[in-house]
């Protein structure tokens, strides 16, 4: 290779790589066999080469301008914000939500006092499934997995909070979303809170529920209509709120690999987008409202590269498919999180280490607007107060003690990171194309395509662990036989159910039955027609119709969903 004296030498090419492999590495490996055969990434199971070099970038057609660009500019691979986390850090938040309204409020105040600025409100299973606390099916479940909200009054009690400290309130509800949204609006009014002062964020993510987790009520096409009603209502009436969150982070525990996670969640986003655009709104208005919750697993690089690929894929889809032009439409909004499924029941203190590693991966991949830490004994039961403190501190440690957030996208240019990012991007775009060809996410849900793909992954990944192909400390590696758990377990109050039932009885005796009947009739009418459901739910909610009653009104019109395959992959 001839070189001009004052130009830098050309990088080594594939020829040089081969020479090194042949003359240096291969002989070494002959004496020191590799400890895994083959080396593959954790979820995608793509082969991991011993070494990545400029030749790999050339092989995948990497080009800085088209693949990366600059932070805050298309295609946003290096970040959606011009200054990364140097101006402001991500919002730090945690999950909580259990018991009666007052219990949640007490715990929420504790969390805010510990330095958290965002709260995520999980509802109990009866509520997310559209039942009141006194429904025969829900015995033993009231207030356990989250907050029990049977009526507007329950939420008003829960909103006994220092709203000036709160930047952000997210409500996870999904199937009964319009009821929940109506209650939030009415409860804030009742508490005299100005809704423009902070962001209310509803998850409104029913389509993912049909593919995994399964908190749905109505058939998928109606679920999509309901979600679109909520989207449209917020865009028109509360434009500073966040009307949707695609929680890709639900797909990951169902064992979606990064390509599936990215492709399925994007296909689902496209379904919501198309439905909302059909209401007469345009892409530059609607796209900025979309928000993703993405988690990372323990494979450090899969996590980082997946986050980078998310930014690029969203930007490409908005521009190429919809012709969006506003930067806000092209910039993905996301919240990141370490996954709970990487945490183990065994040796729970190890989980603090795992969380730190995953939080670091989030920060390196670009943490987005907010990061949520699950807590180290979450492999087991709901969080205890000790664990909350540790979780909050962990984010501050990553942010202030490591330097990873002090420069933007520091791993860019790494031969491995760029190869893997591009690989994920291209595989995901191809899969999105396939899903669109079968009619889009709704069709894929109705045919069971997503569910079957996930079922296969679940079985295969479990086998990987049982057969030792994947080492998991505490589970199949460095196992401590007969270990005793020391972690403080949180137990929800058993009396919640009784108290909620009593409250319901008292409420029903006190309220105006004519107003309730009118409100429910309005809901049925809106459901049967094309009127937006949210105003009808507001009427019903203010008349003190209960959560279950309003959901039943919708069940009467939409029917209930029994899917072709509840057991994924069968």
Contacts to another protein by CB under 8 A: 125-126, 129, 131, 137-141, 144-145, 212-215, 219, 221, 253-255, 344-346, 379-381, 439, 446-448, 455, 458-459, 462, 466, 475, 485, 489, 492, 559, 561-562, 564-570
Q: How far is the CB of 408 from another protein (least distance, A)?
A: 36
Contact 341, 252 (CB under 8 A): yes
Residue 297 CA to residue 354 CA, distance in Å, equals 9
- Helix 415-437, helix 300-322: angle, nearest 10: 50
| DSSP character string of 61-106 | T--IIIII--TTSTT-TT-SSTTTTSSSPPEEEEEE--BSHHHHHH
Smaller CB separation from another protein, 47 or 140: 140
Smaller CB separation from another protein, 110 or 472: 472
Find, among 20, 162, 160, 138, the residue nearest to 547 by Cα. Answer: 138
Q: How far is the CB of 465 from another protein (least distance, A)?
A: 8
Q: How far is the CB of 18 from another protein (least distance, A)?
A: 43
117 alpha carbon, distance to own chain's centre: 18
Q: Which residues, in sequence order, are bridge partners of residue 370?
A: 91, 335
Smaller CB separation from another protein, 113 or 479: 479
Smaller CB separation from another protein, 150 or 539: 150
Q: How far is the CB of 568 from another protein (least distance, A)?
A: 5
Residue 238 burial class via C-beta count within 10 angstroms: exposed 0-12, middle 13-18, buried 19 and up: middle
Smaller CB separation from another protein, 138 or 394: 138
Q: How far is the CB of 403 from another protein (least distance, A)?
A: 36
Residue 539 CA to residue 545 CA, distance in Å, equals 9
Find, among 270, 265, 178, 272, the residue nearest to 217 by Cα. Answer: 178
Q: Strand 118-122: give its sheet, edge to edge.
A: 199-202, 168-172, 118-122, 91-96, 370-373, 334-338, 292-296, 246-247
Q: How far is the CB of 550 from another protein (least distance, A)?
A: 18
Find, among 409, 308, 400, the residue nearest to 89 by Cα. Answer: 400
Q: How far is the CB of 26 from another protein (least distance, A)?
A: 37
State both tokens at 535: 């105003």
Smaller CB separation from another protein, 351 or 568: 568
Smaller CB separation from another protein, 193 or 384: 384
Smaller CB separation from another protein, 156 or 557: 557
Smaller CB separation from another protein, 123 or 311: 123
109 alpha carbon, distance to own chain's centre: 24
Find, among 422, 423, 396, 410, the residue nearest to 71 by Cα. Answer: 410
Helix (H) or strand (E) holding 169: strand 168-172
Q: How far is the CB of 138 from another protein (least distance, A)?
A: 6
Per-position b or e across 540-563, b if 16+ CB within 10 A of its CB = bbbbbbbbbbbbbbbeeebeebee
Q: How far is the CB of 177 from another protein (least distance, A)?
A: 17
Smaller CB separation from another protein, 254 or 296: 254
Smaller CB separation from another protein, 201 or 222: 222
Smaller CB separation from another protein, 202 or 254: 254
Q: Could you tell me if residue 333 is left (phi over 0), alpha (psi between -120 and 50 degrees) or otherwise beta?
A: beta
Within 10 Å of residue 208's Cβ, how many Cβ atoms? Answer: 26
Q: How far is the CB of 213 from another protein (least distance, A)?
A: 6
Q: How far is the CB of 386 from another protein (least distance, A)?
A: 17
Q: How far is the CB of 398 from another protein (least distance, A)?
A: 28
Per-position b or e across 510-538, b if 16+ CB within 10 A of its CB = ebeeeebeebbebbbebbeeeebbbbbbb
């Amino acid at each position: 290779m001839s070189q001009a004296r004052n130009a830098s030498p050309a990088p080594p090419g594939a020829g040089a790589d081969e020479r090194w492999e042949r003359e240096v590495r291969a002989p070494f490996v002959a004496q020191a066999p590799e400890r895994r055969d083959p080396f593959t990434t954790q979820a995608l199971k793509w082969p991991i080469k011993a070494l990545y070099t400029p030749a790999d970038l050339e092989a995948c057609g990497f080009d800085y301008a088209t693949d990366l660009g600059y932070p805050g500019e298309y295609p946003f691979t290096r970040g959606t914000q011009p200054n990364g986390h140097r101006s402001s850090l991500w919002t730090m938040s945690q999950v909580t939500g259990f018991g009666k309204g007052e219990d949640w409020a007490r715990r929420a105040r504790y969390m805010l006092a510990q330095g958290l600025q965002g709260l995520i409100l999980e509802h109990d299973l009866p509520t997310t499934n559209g039942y009141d606390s006194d429904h025969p099916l829900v015995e033993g479940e009231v207030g356990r997995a989250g907050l029990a909200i049977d009526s507007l009054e329950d939420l008003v009690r829960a909103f006994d909070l220092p709203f000036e400290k709160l930047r952000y309130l997210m409500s996870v509800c999904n199937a009964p979303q319009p009821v929940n949204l109506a209650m939030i609006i009415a409860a804030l009014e009742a508490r005299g809170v100005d809704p423009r002062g902070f962001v209310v964020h509803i998850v409104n993510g029913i389509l993912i529920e049909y593919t995994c987790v399964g908190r749905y009520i109505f058939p998928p096409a109606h679920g999509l209509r309901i979600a679109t009603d909520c989207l449209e209502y917020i865009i028109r009436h509360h434009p500073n709120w966040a009307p949707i969150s695609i929680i890709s982070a639900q797909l990951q525990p169902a064992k979606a690999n990064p390509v599936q996670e990215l492709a399925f969640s994007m296909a689902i986003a496209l379904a919501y987008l198309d439905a909302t655009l059909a209401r007469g709104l345009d892409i530059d208005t609607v796209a900025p409202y979309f928000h993703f919750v993405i988690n990372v697993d323990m494979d450090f690089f899969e996590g980082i590269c997946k986050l980078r690929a998310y930014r690029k894929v969203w930007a490409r889809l908005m521009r190429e498919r919809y012709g969006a032009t506003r930067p806000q439409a092209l910039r993905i909004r996301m919240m990141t999180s370490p996954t709970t499924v990487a945490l183990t029941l065994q040796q729970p203190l190890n989980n603090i280490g795992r969380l730190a590693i995953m939080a670091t991966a989030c920060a390196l991949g670009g943490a987005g607007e907010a990061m949520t830490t699950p807590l180290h004994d979450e492999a087991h039961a709901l969080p205890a107060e000790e664990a909350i403190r540790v979780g909050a501190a962990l984010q501050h440690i990553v942010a202030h003690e490591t330097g990873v957030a002090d420069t933007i996208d520091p791993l860019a240019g790494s031969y491995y990171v760029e190869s893997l990012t591009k690989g994920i991007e291209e595989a995901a775009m191809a899969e999105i194309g396939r899903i669109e060809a079968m009619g889009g996410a709704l069709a894929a849900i109705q045919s069971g395509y997503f569910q079957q793909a996930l079922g296969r992954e679940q079985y295969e990944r479990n086998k990987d662990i049982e057969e030792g192909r994947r080492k998991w400390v505490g589970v199949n590696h460095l196992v401590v036989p007969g270990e005793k758990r020391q972690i403080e377990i949180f137990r929800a109050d058993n009396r919640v159910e009784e108290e909620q039932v009593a409250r319901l009885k008292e409420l029903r005796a006190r309220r105006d039955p004519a107003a309730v009947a009118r409100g429910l009739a309005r809901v049925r009418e809106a459901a049967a027609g094309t009127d937006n459901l949210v105003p009808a739910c507001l009427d019903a909610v203010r008349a003190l119709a209960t959560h279950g009653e309003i959901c039943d009104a919708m069940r009467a019109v939409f029917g209930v969903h029994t899917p072709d395959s509840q057991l994924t992959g069968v």
